[in-house]
Amino acid sequence: MNINNIHDFNLNQENDFLTIQTKLKKHINLANSVSKDALQTCAGVDVAYWEEDGEAFGVCSIIVLDFHTKRVIEKVHSAGKIDVPYIAGFLAFRELPLIIKAAKKLTIEPDVFLFDGNGYLHYNHMGIATHAAFFLEKPTIGIAKTYLKIKQTDFVMPDNKFGAYTDIVIDGEVYGRAVRTRQDVKPIFLSCGHLLDLDSSYDIAMSLINRESRLPIPVRLADLETHALRAYYRENQKLAE
């Protein structure tokens, strides 16, 4: 898969990070570039970390599914040393090098990417799903397992039934949705990434839910794969090429 290299990662951390986020934020497009009916493929993306001898390492998994049959048609991954420390609000700069490295291995270009993480639901509207979209040039959706509290704003718990949701509104703007994907199970936190509106992001995500998890299938599979790969690399003490 071709990648649009919009910036490099030889950066002076927080100052450059904020400058890049502010620049890209102006180009976020929450209008639909594809309809749900036209989707043929979708991908889940996740990153997991570990430490060895005081150094941080990570692995990224991308799982591509046939949107209609939900069958896995391709999976790729990358692993490597992590050079960027965790800084609140700037997680994308820590994860993107591995995501880009993995995405370059794809022989199938997914119609939409679903990320284990936030998109527009972010302090500066630049969560991993949004930031990565500018490299991938594909519609993206953020699927977070936990709530990112912004400006001391809590979310309203959706009704305890499949498909129920409440919009997350901060200073009069909708940042995302708390969505109940299974009864009697905690909600997920869905947000647009780029090139999709919130209703379409919700419809796509809900069409990828099954009885096995509260997460959309591609995100769940990517999450499981990263954990398995992390265990493998930790045990064998070597990294992917």
pLDDT in the model for residue 5:
95
Tell me the binding residues for Mg(2+): 46, 116
6 inside domain: no
Tens of pLDDT, residues 159-207? 999 999 999 999 999 999 999 999 999 999 999 999 999 999 999 999 9
Q: Cβ distance 170 to 153 under 8 Å?
A: yes
30 inside domain: no
Q: Which domain does 69 fall in, by range?
A: 37-236
175 inside domain: yes
pLDDT in the model for residue 12:
81
Dihedral sign computed on CA atoms, order 142, 148, 99, 14 = positive
Tens of pLDDT, residues 94-121? 999 999 999 999 999 999 999 999 999 9
pLDDT in the model for residue 42:
98
149 inside domain: yes
Burial pattern 88-98, b for ≥16 Cβ within 10 A else e, equals ebbbbbbbbbb
Name residues whose C-beta falls within 8 Å of residue 146's C-beta, 6 or more positions apart in sequence: 189
Tell me the binding residues: 46, 116
Tens of pLDDT, residues 36-76? 999 999 999 999 999 988 899 999 999 999 999 999 999 99
241 has pLDDT over 50? no
11 inside domain: no
217 inside domain: yes
**What's 150's domain CATH number?**
3.30.2170.10
48 inside domain: yes
Query: What does pTM read for this prediction?
Result: 0.96
Q: Cβ distance 52 to 217 under 8 Å?
A: no
Number of domains present in the structure of the chain: 1
Give the pLDDT band of residue 239 (cuts 50, 70, 90): low
18 has pLDDT over 60? yes
17 inside domain: no
Dihedral sign computed on CA atoms, order 117, 119, 124, 128 = positive
